[in-house]
Amino acid sequence: MEQFISITLDLLNGFGETLTIFFVTLLLALPLGLLIAFGSMSRFKPLSALTRGFVWVIRGTPLMLQLLVVYYGPGLVMGQILLTEAYAVYLTFTINYACYFSEIYRGGIESISRGQYEAGKVLGMTKGEVFFKVILLQVVKRIIPPMSNEVITLVKDTSLARVIGYYELIYFAQRYSKNAGLLWPLFYTAVYYLVFTALLTLLFRWLEKKLDYFKT
């Protein structure tokens, strides 16, 4: 029992690391995704082609491979590792998720009828005002379901960080099997993920309810 409690607490520390990846990634990828979405929708063809190409590469290759490239890549080229494990993880996860988010944003933005922009324009609103005061909330309402999928995937993807030696939850649990022959802590980590994704699911459901008062 004592062992159970101490391992639970130790894994909680590991889960703290997992949550750090999760929140840093979300915080940076949510706005960066919007920038990438604008890039891919740009009427300036070279910019949109470049952005879409980049998104294609990021979405078309495994996140694990991207982690390895970002972490070890500079070493191959310049003979030394430039980023700490943590920065490599934050950078890779942020870019990867920003690309996924950007596609969801783009789909959402393009689904809003042209009439909404035109109504704003003839009422004398500027492009920025139309986007932030009229379009954005309608987009948010529409993308909540796909975003909640991505965000829940992110919770589990954090476990990939251990391939470059970032100490997150799975890593913490594996120490017990390596050092003490205990396998159950590894399986036990599922509880942490499950509880957290349950909370997220509730949060998204609440958000959806909040925006239920209007129809787009």
Structure tokens that stand for 95 in this block: 């870019």
Taking the complex as a whole, the smallest distance from the CB of residue 214 to another protein amounts, in Å, to 5
# binding residues, another protein (CB under 8 A): 23
How far apart (Å, rounded) are the C-alpha atoms in residues 147 and 168?
24
The answer to whether 155 and 193 are in contact (CB under 8 A) is yes
- Rule CB under 8 A: is residue 215 a binding residue for another protein? yes
Contact letters for another protein, residues 140-169 (x by CB under 8 A): -x----------------------------
Cα 194 vs. chain centroid, distance in angstroms? Answer: 18
- The secondary structure of residue 133, as a DSSP letter, is I
How far apart (Å, rounded) are the C-alpha atoms in residues 141 and 139?
5
Between residue 88 and residue 117, which ones bind another protein under the rule CB under 8 A? 113, 115-116
How far apart (Å, rounded) are the C-alpha atoms in residues 70 and 95?
11
Neighbours of 87 (CB within 10 A): 12
- State which of residues 26, 32, 134, 200 lies at the interface with another protein (CB under 8 A): 134
Between residue 185 and residue 204, which ones bind another protein under the rule CB under 8 A? none
- Rule CB under 8 A: is residue 121 a binding residue for another protein? yes
The answer to whether 177 and 185 are in contact (CB under 8 A) is yes
Q: Which is nearer to another protein, 119 or 180 (CB)?
A: 119
- State which of residues 39, 108, 120, 185 lies at the interface with another protein (CB under 8 A): 120
Applying CB under 8 A, which residues contact another protein? Answer: 113, 115-116, 118-126, 129, 133-134, 137-138, 141, 211, 213-216
